[in-house]
Amino acid sequence: MDTKKIILLNASKIYLGIVLFFFLMKFFNLEQITELRLLNFIFVFWGINSAIKKNIFTNHENEYVQNLYVGFATSFLAIILLGVSLNIYLSYIDPNLITAIEDLKIWGSNLNPVLITFAILIEGISSSLICTFILMQYWKKYKIARGV
């Protein structure tokens, strides 16, 4: 399977998992509980793990740097998609969520969709890098014989 397809498929998994979880939280009026956002880590971890695993076992890719790239690219694409979606959501669908976020006192005041999106992007990229490095410590030991 092409590496780009692996990245796109698993970035889509991360994106859909986080978006569906967000709407589930919204459905149950839990979107103000910021601690629940920690569960997004599970979706990121799952998607990156799937991408690296697929690259190792399907493409027989043993190179640490190549698999690290697959993990980074997968998470980075998912985070960019989430950032764009969040900006659209805060700008056009539910601008009142900004007020709810400001009321939490964690983020401060005078927030706008771009500022919130930027903060989420930085947070997402940081956690994705950490997840990728953690997973590579596990997957670096797997050596698959390349095709004959």
Residue (of 41, 33, 115, 39) closest to 78 by Cα position: 41
Q: What span, in angstroms and rounded, lies between the C-alpha atoms of 38 and 107?
A: 16
Q: Where are the domains of the chain?
A: 3-139
Looking at residue 18, its amino acid is I
pLDDT tens per residue across span 8-54? 999 999 999 999 999 999 899 887 777 888 888 899 999 999 999 99
pLDDT over threshold 70, residue 147 = no
Q: Are 96 and 29 in contact (CB under 8 A)?
A: no
pLDDT of residue 99: 81
Query: What torsion do the CA atoms of 148, 57, 137, 46 make, to the nearest 10 degrees?
Result: 170
Task: Tell if the pTM clears 0.85, that is, is over it.
Answer: yes
Average pLDDT, the chain: 90
- CA-based max dimension of the chain: 62
Residue (of 76, 74, 80, 120) closest to 97 by Cα position: 120
127-132 mean pLDDT? 93
